[in-house]
Structures are given as structure tokens and as C-alpha cells.
């Protein structure tokens, strides 16, 4: 059987793209995720990845030709993947199974500036100190966190597959690998607390409890989308659960979350605001202004820096002379905490402390979660600037597998129950996509609604 390879929606305007060159030749066997060809869009040169493994067969669209999104450019035939696989595939499957648990660093929760040794275990392992009801309750919370992380992973992977088949309009910035940060932080929040996200918002929105249908419809630009189809993937929101509109301007949500937190204080509310941002954003002016303002105002805001080591293709080491971004907190007089962002329990513990501090009127905290995104910066970026060893080392610390191991080994939660959670998540994701695809387009008349106040 042959599966058509179609041109995804690349570039900024959704127009035609030009094939620069094929990176594999006809009859090569490729792995899922391998870069097939390079194309030039209205924005940049990007790579198109194989949405499945197989043998590339023609007719192949010629180099130099202009191709519309959705047009077939070749086929992947369903053959046993014999012969050499093309290097470059970065598989990050739903269920990453590792043979034996890798050596995990301690749930690092250490003051910034203290790099070695990272052994302070501030996360009390409840199973060791509590028994009976408390342990059971804790296990249930961990199961919940596991389920949310799985939902995020399944969602992102499913959309990745659809994108590569040309079925997602617009680009995607995905968060596979970073789920523990979103879930750990949002588990420490109330529904009426606000979160401000970025161009990579899906995990934060799902973790805050946003409607999966409304998120998905927004990505498809439909009338039922969470902002009426006007925003797309980078501008997701669900005010009902405190998920404020995500912001694609790097670092821009930092002062906005600070302002939000200041307004909570002025109104005498005990809510907190959370700003999620990346390592790249920590080099932006708004980061420094926002943190300083929050500190002097004792604003109830928590700054969550998801340090995934890269801003697009640039390694953090090329843009700063420090290793721990949390160190910067001391310049503004607030606590700075480094946490293992691949450990949902560690993230939760750090967030809970910061939230309690903020609610008590003691001001902001900067938490740096060390994490990794398994996929490229956006679709069209297979992330070849990263070494395979680096990628695989992070994959071996997968937060979902880590929770699964802990639940089965330490809390005797049955593998069947966890498998059912995975299947249910997949079904929810597919239902949300179905909802989005069947939803109506926005009417032209709605174009100016909610634009001016």
C-alpha cells in the first residue's frame, strides 16, 4: 500500500512553497520523522519530515517546482523497513519504554547559585513517610497528573501526524517532553488563578483545564475556536479556567502577568498569576523589567522559565554566560529555584511553595525548570542542530515514563489502568479533532467582532 506524502501548510501565509531539494532519493527507506526534502516558504527554508516510515516512491515532485499545501509530492510505500534508515529521524513515540530505569538526578530543588551537588531532595516522597489514606490520595493525584501529561503528549503527537499529512492549517509549536512543567505548575493552582502562556501553549492550556475542543477548533481557525478562529495555534485561551490569551511575542507575557498579579492585590483577591516563558525569553528586556516590577510590588506572580536549552535553533550557552537562569532572581531580590522539569512531583513541590508565598503576600518567585522539547522549534524544523546523544539522553528521562514507573512500582497502580488512561486520552484527542474539522468556518461578518473595544 502507498501512502501519499502531501505538502504541509508551511510558511506564514499558507501559500505555495518551492522545493529546493530532496534529501533522500527515490526508493530509499526512511524512518518516521526523517527529513525528506527542503522547501522555501515565504518566511524561510524549512524541512518536510516523513509522517511515517516506508520506502519513498514516485512520482516525486521536481526540485524547483512550486507546490500548494495539500498537493501530493510523492508516496511512502508500506514495506518492511529493510535497508539503511535515513539518519535524522527523531522518534518520540507516545509510549517511550526504557528497558531499565535510567539514573535520574534527584528531584533538584536548590537555591540558584548552588550548582553542585544537586542532591537536596526537597520533594518529600510521600510514600515513605505516609501510609494508608494519605498515600492513596497522593497516588490518585499522581495518576491525575499522569493522565494530564498523557493527554498533552497524545494531543501533540496526533497533531504532529496530521500536520505532516497537510491536514493542519498553519504551523505548530509543540511541547512534547515538557509536559511535567505544565502539569506540575498547574496542579498547584486554583481554577481562578491566571496563567499566561507563549507561542508553545498547548500543554499549559490543557494542564489548566481548557476545553480541548475549543483549543483544537482554534488551531483549525473555526468559529467554535476558543477565540473565534481569529488567533490560531499561538493565541489560545480559556477564560473560564484562567487560561489567558497566550502570547507569541517572546517574553511579552512577563510584565502582563505581573500587571495581572498587581491587580489581584489591589482588588484584595488572593489569586496568583503565572507567567510561562522560555530560556530565550530570559534574555529579553521585558523579563528584567517584569521581574523587577513584580519584586518591588510584592506581586503575587510566579515566573516559570521552561529552560529547554534552545531558543529556536540557538543553544542557551551561546546567548548567556550563566548556566542557571534562576540565578537572575537574586538581581531582583526574589527566590530563584532550579527544578528538574522532567519530574512532575518536583515541579509541583516547587510551584506549591512559590504559590503559597505569593498568596501570603510575600511576592514573586522565579522557577527555572530544566526540560527539553523532543520535537523541533516549530513544524518544519526537525531539530538537526541538536546531537542525537543529547536528544536520547533527555528522552531517557521522559516525565511520563517516570510517573508510570513510580505509580506501578511504588503505588501498585496496575499497568492496565494506566494503559486505559492512554487509550482514553487518544480517543479524547481524536474526538476533539473531529469536532474541529466538522465545525463551521467563521462568518466574514465576524471579522471585526472583539477587535475594538
Ligand X SMILES: Cc1ncc(C[n+]2csc(CCOP(=O)(O)OP(=O)(O)O)c2C)c(N)n1
Dist. CA 83–CA 57, nearest whole Å: 15
User: Of the candidates 265, 170, 151, 154, which has an alpha carbon nearest to the alpha carbon of residue 208?
Assistant: 151
The torsion defined by the Cα of 186, 351, 149 and 389, in degrees rounded to 10, comes to 140
Dist. CA 422–CA 406, nearest whole Å: 16
Strand 301-307: give its sheet, edge to edge. 109-111, 336-340, 365-370, 301-307, 273-278, 194-196
Report if residue 249 touches ligand X, rule: CB under 6 A: yes
Least Å distance between CB 302 and ligand X?
Answer: 17
Least Å distance between CB 32 and Mg ion?
Answer: 24
Dist. CA 206–CA 150, nearest whole Å: 11
Q: Is the dihedral of CA 315, 318, 320, 321 positive or negative?
A: positive
Least Å distance between CB 325 and ligand X?
Answer: 10
Stretch that binds Mg ion, among 87-95, 122-130, 152-160, 275-283 (CB under 5 A): 275-283
C-alpha cell at 2: 502507498
| 22 vs 277, beta carbon nearer Mg ion | 277
| 186 vs 250, beta carbon nearer ligand X | 250
Dist. CA 30–CA 82, nearest whole Å: 10
Q: Which of 279, 343, 345, 368 binds ligand X (CB under 6 A)?
A: 279
Which of the residues 171 through 200 are near ligand X (CB under 6 A)?
Answer: 199-200
The torsion defined by the Cα of 47, 226, 355 and 297, in degrees rounded to 10, comes to 100
Intra-chain end-to-end CA distance of the chain, in Å? 55
Binding mask 205-244 for Mg ion (x = CB under 5 A): ----------------------------------------
| 176 vs 403, beta carbon nearer ligand X | 176
| 139 vs 325, beta carbon nearer ligand X | 325
Least Å distance between CB 133 and Mg ion?
Answer: 41
Report if residue 310 touches ligand X, rule: CB under 6 A: yes
Report if residue 198 touches Mg ion, rule: CB under 5 A: no
Q: Which of 11, 278, 290, 399 binds ligand X (CB under 6 A)?
A: 278
H or E segment to which residue 323 belongs: none
| 287 vs 435, beta carbon nearer ligand X | 287
Which of ligand X, Mg ion, none does residue 54 bind (CB under 5 to 8 Å by kind)?
Answer: none
Q: Which of 304, 311, 354, 395 binds ligand X (CB under 6 A)?
A: 311
Q: Which of 217, 250, 272, 429 binds ligand X (CB under 6 A)?
A: 250
Q: Which of 28, 47, 238, 279 binds Mg ion (CB under 5 A)?
A: 279
Distance of CA 405 to the CA centre of its chain: 22
Q: Which of 253, 275, 283, 308 binds Mg ion (CB under 5 A)?
A: 308
| 173 vs 397, beta carbon nearer Mg ion | 173
| 258 vs 308, beta carbon nearer Mg ion | 308
| 74 vs 251, beta carbon nearer Mg ion | 251
Least Å distance between CB 316 and ligand X?
Answer: 8
Least Å distance between CB 12 and ligand X?
Answer: 12
| 61 vs 281, beta carbon nearer ligand X | 281
Which of ligand X, Mg ion, none does residue 428 bind (CB under 5 to 8 Å by kind)?
Answer: none
Dist. CA 18–CA 5, nearest whole Å: 15
Instruction: Give burial (CB, 10 Å; 0-12/13-18/19+) of 149.
Output: buried
Dist. CA 51–CA 45, nearest whole Å: 19
C-alpha cell at 272: 496568583
Contact 245, 235 (CB under 8 A): yes
Contact 139, 413 (CB under 8 A): yes
Stretch that binds ligand X, among 32-40, 225-233, 272-280, 401-409 (CB under 6 A): 272-280
Report if residue 201 touches Mg ion, rule: CB under 5 A: no
Least Å distance between CB 169 and ligand X?
Answer: 19
Q: Which of 68, 120, 296, 312 binds ligand X (CB under 6 A)?
A: 312
Dist. CA 425–CA 430, nearest whole Å: 9
Report if residue 409 touches ligand X, rule: CB under 6 A: no
DSSP state letters, 412-444: ---HHHHHHHHHHHHHHHHHHHHHHHHSPPPPG
Contact 392, 352 (CB under 8 A): no
| 248 vs 396, beta carbon nearer ligand X | 248
C-alpha cell at 411: 503505588
Instruction: Give burial (CB, 10 Å; 0-12/13-18/19+) of 189.
Output: buried
Q: Which of 281, 350, 351, 433 binds ligand X (CB under 6 A)?
A: 281
How many residues line the site for ligand X (CB under 6 A)?
15
Report if residue 280 touches ligand X, rule: CB under 6 A: yes
Report if residue 3 touches ligand X, rule: CB under 6 A: no
Dist. CA 302–CA 428, nearest whole Å: 31
Binding site for Mg ion (CB under 5 A): 278-279, 308, 311
Binding site for ligand X (CB under 6 A): 199-200, 248-250, 277-281, 308, 310-312, 377
Amino acid at each position: 500500500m502507498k501512502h501519499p506524502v502531501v505538502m504541509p501548510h508551511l510558511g506564514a501565509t499558507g501559500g505555495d512553497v518551492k522545493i529546493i531539494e530532496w534529501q533522500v532519493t527515490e526508493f530509499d527507506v526512511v524512518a518516521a520523522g526523517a527529513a525528506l526534502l527542503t522547501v522555501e516558504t515565504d518566511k524561510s527554508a524549512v524541512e518536510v519530515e516523513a509522517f511515517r516510515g516506508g520506502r519513498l516512491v514516485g512520482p516525486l515532485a521536481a526540485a524547483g517546482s512550486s507546490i500548494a499545501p495539500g498537493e501530493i509530492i510523492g508516496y511512502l510505500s508500506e514495506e518492511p523497513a529493510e535497508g539503511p534508515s535515513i539518519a535524522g529521524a527523531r522518534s518520540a513515540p507516545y509510549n517511550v519504554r526504557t528497558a531499565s530505569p535510567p539514573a535520574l538526578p534527584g528531584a533538584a530543588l536548590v537555591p540558584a547559585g548552588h550548582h553542585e551537588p544537586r542532591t537536596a531532595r526537597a520533594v518529600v516522597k510521600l510514600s515513605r513517610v505516609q501510609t494508608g489514606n494519605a498515600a492513596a490520595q497522593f497516588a490518585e493525584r499522581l495518576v491525575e497528573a499522569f493522565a494530564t501529561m498523557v493527554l498533552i503528549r497524545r494531543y501533540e503527537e496526533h497533531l504532529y501526524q496530521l500536520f505532516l499529512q497537510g491536514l493542519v492549517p498553519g504551523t505548530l509549536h509543540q511541547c512534547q517532553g515538557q509536559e511535567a512543567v505544565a502539569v506540575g505548575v498547574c496542579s498547584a493552582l486554583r481554577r481562578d488563578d491566571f496563567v499566561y502562556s507563549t507561542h508553545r501553549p498547548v500543554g499549559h492550556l490543557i494542564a489548566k483545564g481548557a476545553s480541548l475542543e475549543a483549543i483544537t477548533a482554534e488551531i483549525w481557525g473555526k468559529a467554535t475556536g476558543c477565540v473565534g478562529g481569529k488567533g490560531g495555534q499561538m493565541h489560545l485561551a480559556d477564560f473560564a479556567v484562567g487560561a489567558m490569551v497566550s502570547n507569541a511575542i517572546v517574553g511579552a507575557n512577563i510584565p502582563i502577568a505581573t500587571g495581572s498579579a498587581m491587580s489581584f492585590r489591589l482588588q484584595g483577591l488572593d489569586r496568583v498569576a503565572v507567567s510561562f516563558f522560555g530560556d530565550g525569553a530570559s534574555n529579553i528586556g521585558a523579563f528584567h523589567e517584569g521581574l523587577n516590577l513584580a519584586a518591588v510590588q510584592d506581586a503575587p506572580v510566579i515566573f516559570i522559565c521552561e529552560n529547554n536549552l534552545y531558543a529556536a535553533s540557538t543553544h542557551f550557552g551561546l546567548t548567556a554566560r550563566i548556566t542557571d537562569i534562576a540565578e537572575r532572581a537574586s538581581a531582583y531580590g526574589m527566590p530563584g529555584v532550579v527544578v528538574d522539569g522532567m519530574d512532575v512531583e518536583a515541579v509541583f513541590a516547587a510551584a506549591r511553595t512559590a504559590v503559597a508565598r505569593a498568596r501570603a503576600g510575600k511576592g514573586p518567585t522565579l522557577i527555572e525548570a530544566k526540560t527539553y522539547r523532543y520535537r523541533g522549534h516549530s513544524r518544519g524544523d526537525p531539530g538537526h542542530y541538536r546531537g542525537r546523544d543529547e536528544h536520547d539522553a533527555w528522552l531517557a528521562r521522559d516525565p511520563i515514563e517516570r510517573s508510570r514507573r513510580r505509580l506501578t512500582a511504588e503505588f501498585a497502580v496496575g499497568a492496565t489502568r494506566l494503559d486505559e488512561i492512554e487509550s482514553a486520552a487518544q480517543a479524547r484527542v481524536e474526538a476533539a479533532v473531529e469536532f474541529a474539522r466538522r465545525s463551521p468556518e467563521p462568518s466574514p461578518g465576524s471579522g471585526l467582532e472583539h477587535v475594538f473595544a
